[in-house]
């Protein structure tokens, strides 16, 4: 009986591991570097169907890196760097939509961008888990679209240059946008679809910059910087159906809310929020 018990335990624990290693063996890894020119902005286009996506600063001022780990059975990838046009395109496509949520069909995409060149970044992810730490990168324009999944975009360091345009679309899922003031944008448009979204404008924000936040359905938190004068408008959309909780530092006067120190602050920030169907929380900290 003991011998049979041991054999059964081996079958229970060892054979599944054997199958797991067989699944892992089906992974392919692509690891490429590129050398960007510094005399023109680097155009970066990320077009990704699904996976775990990480975008961060490289360890080199002019050289970047793309690393993709994936199952050839379910995905195909294309990395194209055109040095003459100073353009990087990364495409990561699903071959089909069936059975893509099993563990052995998951994919990982790592993109490291150089911090010594100006960047025009356009990221489009259809589904997955996205983490972008863009602090310290010289981003001139930033466009981000996530159709479904979880996303986090943060700027833990100030952008060394002025960002002329920021366009963010989070369709379905949970999204966190952290310290967007450090992006140093002139104009920002942020659209939240269905789910939970947090938009944090703290950081080294530009004087007289402007942001628009449009919300559809779900819970939204908007964090306003405490060290600049804030002028805010809330209206349109489903405003009459939304639950609104506004920080006591903001006082309504006519159509606008003003921070208590608005007149005394040398820096001003203007924001318009169009509430969705759900709960809106506005904090200043």
Handedness of CA 79, 100, 176, 222 (dihedral sign): positive
Q: Are residues 285 and 147 in the same domain?
A: yes
CA distances from 273 to 60, 107, 158, 281 (A): 39, 36, 24, 11
Picking from 60, 82, 113, the residue at the C-terminal end of a domain is 113
21 located within any domain? no
CB atoms within 10 A of CB 132: 25
From 48, 78, 113, the end of a domain falls on 113
Which one-letter DSSP state was computed for residue 17?
A: H
Is 172 found in the same domain as 31?
no
Q: What are phi and psi of 202, to 5 degrees?
A: -70, 165
Count of structural domains within the chain: 2
Same domain flag for 219 and 153: yes
Name the token pair of 146: 């996530």
- The answer on 276 and 194 residing in a single domain is yes
Same domain, 80 and 42: yes
Same domain, 165 and 65: no
Smallest CA-to-CA distance from 121 within 91, 141, 145, 147 is with: 141
Instruction: Tell me the CA distances in angstroms from 142 to 57, 66, 123, 145, 184, one per residue in order.
Output: 15, 19, 8, 10, 11
Same domain, 59 and 108: yes
Query: pTM for the full model?
Result: 0.87
**123 found inside a domain:** no
Is the residue at 184 inside a domain? yes
Residues 150 and 225 in one domain: yes
Residue 138 and residue 99 share a domain: no
Question: Residue 52 and residue 257: Cα distance in Å, rounded?
Answer: 39
Structural domain contains residue 4: no
Per the structure block, which two tokens stand in for 257? 């809310």
Q: What are the pLDDT tens digits along the chain (285 aa)? A: 444 443 433 343 434 434 433 444 478 999 999 999 999 999 999 999 999 999 999 999 999 999 999 988 889 999 999 999 999 999 999 887 554 454 556 799 999 999 999 999 999 999 999 999 999 999 999 999 999 999 999 999 999 999 999 999 999 999 999 999 999 999 999 999 999 999 999 999 999 999 999 999 999 999 999 999 999 999 987 777 889 999 999 999 999 999 999 999 999 999 999 998 999 999 998
> Does residue 66 sit within a domain?
yes
120 lies in a domain? no
Whether residue 163 sits in one domain with residue 84: no
Residues 41 and 139 in one domain: no
On whether both 91 and 164 belong to a single domain, the answer is no
Determine, yes or no, domain membership for 22: no
> Has residue 69 been placed in a domain?
yes
**Which residues form the domain of 73?**
27-113
């Amino acid at each position: 009986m003991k011998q049979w018990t041991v054999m059964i335990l081996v079958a229970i624990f060892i054979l599944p591991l054997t199958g797991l290693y067989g699944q892992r063996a089906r992974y392919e890894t692509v690891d490429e570097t590129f050398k960007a020119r510094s005399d023109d902005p680097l155009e970066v286009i990320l077009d990704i169907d699904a996976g775990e996506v990480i975008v961060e600063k490289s360890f080199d001022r002019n050289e970047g890196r793309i690393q993709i780990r994936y199952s050839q059975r379910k995905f195909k990838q294309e990395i194209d760097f055109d040095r003459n046009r100073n353009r990087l395109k990364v495409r990561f496509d699903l071959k089909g939509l069936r059975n893509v949520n099993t563990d052995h069909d998951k994919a990982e995409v790592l993109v490291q961008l150089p911090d010594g060149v100006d960047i025009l970044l356009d990221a489009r992810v259809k589904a997955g888990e996205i983490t972008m730490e863009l602090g310290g990168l010289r981003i001139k324009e930033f466009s981000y679209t996530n159709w479904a999944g979880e996303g986090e975009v943060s700027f833990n360091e100030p952008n060394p240059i002025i960002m002329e345009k920021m366009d963010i679309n989070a369709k379905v899922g949970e999204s966190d946008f952290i310290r967007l003031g450090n992006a140093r944008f002139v104009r920002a448009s942020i659209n939240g679809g269905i789910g939970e979204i947090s938009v944090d404008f703290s950081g080294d924000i530009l004087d007289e910059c402007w942001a628009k936040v449009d919300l559809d359905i779900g819970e939204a938190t908007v964090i306003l910087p405490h060290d600049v004068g804030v002028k805010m408008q809330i209206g349109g959309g489903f405003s009459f159906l939304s639950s609104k909780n506004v920080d006591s530092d903001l006082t309504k006067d006519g159509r606008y809310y003003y921070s208590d120190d608005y007149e005394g602050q040398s820096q001003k920030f203007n924001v318009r929020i169009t509430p969705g169907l759900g709960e809106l929380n506005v904090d200043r900290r």
